[in-house]
Amino acid sequence: MIDARDITKTYPGTPRAVPVLQGLSLAVSGGETVALTGESGSGKSTLLHILGGLEAADTGIVTIAGQDVGALDEAGRAALRRDSIGLVFQQFNLIPSLDVGANLAFQARLNGRYDAGWAGTLAERLGLSDLLSRYPEELSGGQQQRVAIGRALASRPPVLMADEPTGNLDEDSAARVLDLMLSLVRETGTTLLIVTHSAAVAAQMDRRVHLSRGRLSAPSDAVGAAS
């Protein structure tokens, strides 16, 4: 489902350029859940942005759901994100002027896969049924993160990418949100790539990959220590 080969990315900097990803390769099968761990500044978010078509790699090939991301123009990458990828951000990134119901349905309506029944189920499972007419600013952080997860899953994307989805939440809320996300992902057969610092979160995934100095390495206990 996700196939990245020989990815490099360097950010221009002063006095010299900073290499972030150096010939990195990663393959994730359909329905697999993968945790991407690494120290702060190791390039986890950059890799997620490249895989999600939000940012372009300097070199290498990225294929998502069979589409070569590098070959797509801006509109093509937008279509890929719209149709094939659900994104969950650390800062939630809800649309503040739309209520919870409209936020939940937004991406599904955008790609024409809106299903009122599925949206209702998601709202119910995520505990949002009573909050549909509220606005994001009226919700707690945990509630906002559940809306963001619901928005990503409502459009039934084949791939879900989440960047520190529980990073802003307390331990209990984080555990609840993660449980919900994992159960929904597994029920729908969605491929999940999650960036996290948390060893506990990473432990719940099918596989863990660790990013260090721009390259992927085998998971080790150091992951937990790093967090």
Partner 1 sequence: MILLTLRALTSYWRRHRGQLLALLAGLTLATALWSAVQAINGQARSDYVRAAQQLGGTEQTFLARADGGAIPMDSFAQLRRAGWRVSPVMEARVVVGNLRLRVTGLDPFTAAPGTLPPAMAQQLASDPASVMTAPGRGFAAPELVAQLPAESLLPPLDPTPGLPPREIVTDISTVAALPDAELVRLSLHPQQPRFQTPLEQIAPDLVLQAGTGRVDATRLTDSFHLNLTAFGLLSFAVGLFIVHAGIGLAFEQRRATVRTLRALGVPLRTVMIALLVELLCLALIAGGAGVLLGYLLAAALLPDVAATLRGLYGAAVGDGLLFRPVWALSGMAMAVLGTGTAAATGLWALARMPLLASARPRAWSRVSERALWMQAAFGLVLLGLGVVAAWALDGLVAGFTLLGGLLLGAALMLPLSLALVLRLGRSQARSVLGAWFWADAQQQLRGLSMALMALMLALATNIGVGTMVSSFRLTFTGWLDQRLAADLYISARSEEQGAAITDWAQASRLRLLPLVSAEQTLSGRPGDIFGVKDDPLYRDSWPLIAAIAEPWDALHDAGAVLINEQLARSAALWPGQEITLAPGWRVPIAGVYSDYGNPKAQAIVALPELESRFSGLPRLRFGLIAPDTESARTQLQDLGLSQGQITDQAGIKAFSLAIFEQTFAVTAALNVLTLAVAGFAIFTSLTTLAALRLPQLAPVWALGKPRAALARLELLRAVLLAGLTYVLALPVGLALAWSLLAVVNVEAFGWRLPMFLFPSQWVWLGLAALLAALLAAALPARRLARRSPADFLRVFANER
Residues that bind partner 1 (CB under 8 A): 49, 54-55, 74-75, 78-83, 85, 87, 89, 93-98, 102, 106-107, 109-111, 135, 141, 144, 151, 168
Q: How far is the CB of 105 from partner 1 (least distance, A)?
A: 10
CA distance 4 to 59: 11
Q: How far is the CB of 217 from partner 1 (least distance, A)?
A: 26
CA distance 91 to 174: 14
Written as six digits, the tokens of 129 are: 């049924």
Q: Residue 95 or residue 203: which is nearer to partner 1 going by CB?
A: 95
Residues with Cβ within 8 Å of residue 140, at least 6 apart in sequence = none
Q: Residue 77 or residue 210: which is nearer to partner 1 going by CB?
A: 77
Q: How far is the CB of 74 from partner 1 (least distance, A)?
A: 6
CA distance 222 to 173: 25
How many CB atoms are closer than 10 A to CB 110?
Answer: 13
Q: How far is the CB of 219 from partner 1 (least distance, A)?
A: 28
Q: Residue 2 or residue 85: which is nearer to partner 1 going by CB?
A: 85
